Amino acid sequence: MLDAISGVVAAWQSLLGWFAAAFGIEMLQYGFMQRAILVGLCIGVMAPLIGTFLVHRQLALIGDALAHTAFAGVAVGLFVNAVFDTGVSPYLSAVVVAAIAALLIEVISEKTDVYNDVSMAIVLSTGFALGTVLISINAGGLAVGVNQYLFGNLATVSVENASLLLVLFALIVAVVAVAYKQLVYVTFDETAAKVAGLNVKWYNRMTAMLTALVVVGAMQIMGVILVAAMLVVPVAGAAQLARSFRGALLASIVLAELAVIVGITMAYEFEATAGGVIVLVAVAIYVGAVLIGKFRERRSDVVSVAESGQDESTAD
Amino acid sequence: MNVVETRNLTFGYTATPVVEDVNLTVEAGEFLGIVGPNGSGKSTLLKLLLGLLEPDSGEARLFGEHATAFDDGERIGYVAQSVTTDTSEMPITVREAVLMGRYPHVGFGRITEDDRRKAREALETVGMSHLADRRVARLSGGQRQRTYIARALAAEAELLVLDEPTVGVDAESVAAFFELLADLHEFGLTVLLIEHDVGTVVERASTVLCMNREVLFHGSPDDFVESTALAEAYGATPKIMGVSE
């Protein structure tokens, strides 16, 4: 199974390699950049895909909370590897710990009936504190390796990690494709969704778990600290431009991909941290979207005033 | 079979009951208006009837089934209290929101042309076709009301449940809204309505339930006007003056 997936990664790499040779694009001829772009493109789809459902439930912060607990998961993985001399991928332990934290946040919110930012903040800081403590008591030069998880790194995307991300990507896209209608209903009108017979609790838990998967998947490039931005910023930009939910979802993916491609290219050219550059590009796109949105709104106000004038005259 | 049936229904968020010993039957085709002062447990009663809350004692049945176990979601159209004042900026069009009424029918399947047609017809019925592509967040309170009603119609719901649907809606739209509601009731829909304007309920509903934790009155609007229930529920200054508006 995993062989087949690394086969996909290899195929992608040879495709980009051919592309690099054919068009003389230097950036694309390196194996690590080929994998980084693959991972980036996947992030550009799955982060806004899940982020759209979070932002419109006013849960923009949950990504941050889960990213910080994912860091605890990374620390657990590194710790276990050092103590028991095993080779568990820290991303795998991060998936497990973040998923547990996601459930925890959901259960807390079910019990208290509201999402409060206090419980989110507590989960966030507990996760990060646990991570730093585990790493500090784990002697043996681990501090060097931690930066890669905190800030992300284009150069460390291995075939194995790229394969793991492809699995997460496929899972997330498949779940949203199957449960799209239910997720939209729950996001739009939770009570009515309950009355309509949907198991809202179950869908909320699922969304939180999917968020955990996205966060861990995107962490390789974005880093713990910035990963949540990809869940929120493109979605906020798209909401300025689109009228329909489907349109907003597609627009958020387009904006995120734009940020990823421009960001990775600039990071490569200027030798800057990719996560930071991607987020800055995404924010710049957001600002642009807000301006376009304001401009359009002003214009449509004029139109709707004219329309309502028409309505009145036909009503008479 | 009765649409709604409760037996000794009691519920409290804490030890103090908010709804106490309610015995209520709503028949198919009835238009029940629920009135009572603020904090009298009206919304809580509605949540119990819909199975959103588990009763402390007694039981609530929806279409003959235990309300909390009822999962024929498409038979009920629900319009929450907050819809007119909700400030959510979620990008979603009127058309998309109304199509949600078809979701319980479709499940994990695909939306068909038939579903889209039913949504279109529902929009036409409530007079919102011309705003189908507008964002719900950009609608007035009255237009939003109609959108949610259209969603219930698209679901082909048999029971329409409305919790204070006219809060924050201008007077003209309120009048038009109740006209629409009367048409739907005439057409055979069972309606459960919580409304703060007692006058409107007396005028429109076929049955009135007046409560303040317990049921104070349950019967025809004419008998309700003659009764002392309103004075009991609200204290010395009954709000029924609204009848003669």
ipTM: 0.86
Q: Does the beta-carbon distance from B73 to A195 stay under 8 Å? A: yes
R_g over Cα of chain A: 21
* Residue B189 near residue B158 (C-beta atoms within 8 A): yes
User: Is the predicted pLDDT of residue A31 greater than 90, yes or no?
Assistant: no
Question: Is residue A113 situated within a structural domain?
Answer: yes
pLDDT reading at A312 higher than 70: no
**B108 CA to chain A: closest CA distance, Å?**
6
Question: Considering only CA atoms, which of A230, A208, A215, A216 is closest in space to residue A100?
Answer: A208
In order of their start, the domains of chain B are 4-244 (3.40.50.300)
Chain B residues with CB-CB distance to A184 below 8 A: 92, 96, 100
| pLDDT the model gives residue A286 | 96
Query: A156 phi and psi, to 5 degrees?
Result: -105, 10
Tell me the pLDDT band of A305, cut-offs 50, 70 and 90: low
3-class DSSP assignment, residue A106: helix
Which of A114, A175, A183, A243 has the highest number of chain B CBs within 10 A, making it the mutation to test binding with B?
Answer: A243
Give yes or no for residue A166 having a pLDDT over 80: yes
pLDDT, residue A314, reads: 39
pLDDT (0 to 100) of residue A21: 86
Give the model's pLDDT for residue B165.
82
More confident call, A113 vs B186: B186
The total domain count for chain A is 1
Degrees to nearest 5, angle at CA B86 with B83 and B91: 100
pLDDT class of A36 with cuts at 50, 70, 90: very high
Domain extent, residue A43, equals: 2-227
**pLDDT for res A311:** 45
Determine whether the interchain pair A244/B93 forms a contact, defined as Cβ–Cβ distance below 8 Å.
yes
Mutate to test the interface with A, among B103, B115, B131 (most CBs of A within 10 A): B103
Q: How far apart are CA A166 and CA A79, in angstroms?
A: 26
More confident residue, A79 or A304: A79
CATH number of the domain encompassing residue A168: 1.10.3470.10
CB contact under 8 A, A194 and B52: yes
Residue B218 β-bridge partners:
B209
Contact B162, B192 (CB under 8 A): yes
- Contact residues of B toward A, CB < 8 A: 50, 52, 70-74, 76, 78-80, 88-93, 95-97, 100, 103-104, 106, 108, 111, 133-135, 148, 151, 155, 161
Per DSSP bridges, beta strands B159-163 and B4-11 are unpaired
| Smallest Cα distance from B88 to chain A, Å | 8
Do B72 and A239 lie within an 8 Å CB cutoff? no
Q: Which residue of A has its CA nearest to B50?
A: A195
CA A137 – CA A131 distance, rounded (Å): 10
d(CA B207, CA B223): 10
Model pLDDT for residues A216-258, shown as the tens digit of each residue:
999 988 988 899 999 999 999 999 999 899 999 999 999 999 9
- Do residues B103 and B115 make contact, with C-beta atoms less than 8 angstroms apart? no
For B116: left if phi > 0, alpha if psi spans -120 to 50, otherwise beta; the answer is: alpha
CB atoms within 10 A of CB B86: 16
Q: Do A109 and A115 meet the contact criterion of CB atoms below 8 Å apart?
A: yes
How many Cβ pairs closer than 8 A exist between chain A and B?
80
pLDDT of residue A129: 93
Q: Is residue A247 assigned to a domain?
A: no
Residue A54 lies in a domain: yes
Q: Is residue A310 very low, low, confident or very high in pLDDT (cuts 50, 70, 90)?
A: very low
Measured between CA atoms, how close is B244 to chain A, in angstroms? 28
Residue A197 lies in a domain: yes
Taking alpha carbons only, the member of B64, B7, B48 closest to residue B192 is B48
Contacts of B161 (CB under 8 A, 6+ apart): A195, B46, B49, B50, B76, B77, B78, B79, B192
Q: Are B77 and B149 in contact (CB under 8 A)?
A: yes
B111 contacts on A by Cβ (under 8 Å): 181
Length of chain B: 245
Q: Do A197 and B72 touch (CB under 8 A)?
A: yes
**Mean pLDDT computed over A277-285:** 96
Shortest distance between the Cα of B115 and any Cα of chain A, in A, equals: 13
Q: How far is B7 from chain A (nearest CA, A)?
A: 21
Mean pLDDT across B151-159: 90
- Cα A260 to Cα A273: distance, rounded to the nearest angstrom: 12
Would you say residue A279 lies in a domain? no
Which pLDDT does position A71 carry in this prediction? Answer: 92
Distance from CA of A242 to the nearest CA of B (A): 7
Which residues lie below 8 Å from residue A211, measured CB to CB, with a gap of 6+? A50, A54, A62, A63, A66, A102, A231
Average pLDDT score over residue span B71-80: 85
CA distance linking residue B28 with residue B37, whole number of Å: 27
Q: Give the list of residues 6+ apart from residue A135 with CB closer than 8 angstroms, or none.
A: A75, A78, A79, A142, A143, A146
Rounded to the nearest 10 degrees, the angle between the axes of helix A200-241 and helix A143-151 is 70
Average pLDDT over residues B122-138: 91
A198 located within any domain: yes
Q: Is residue A177 part of a domain?
A: yes
| Residue A295 falls inside a structural domain | no
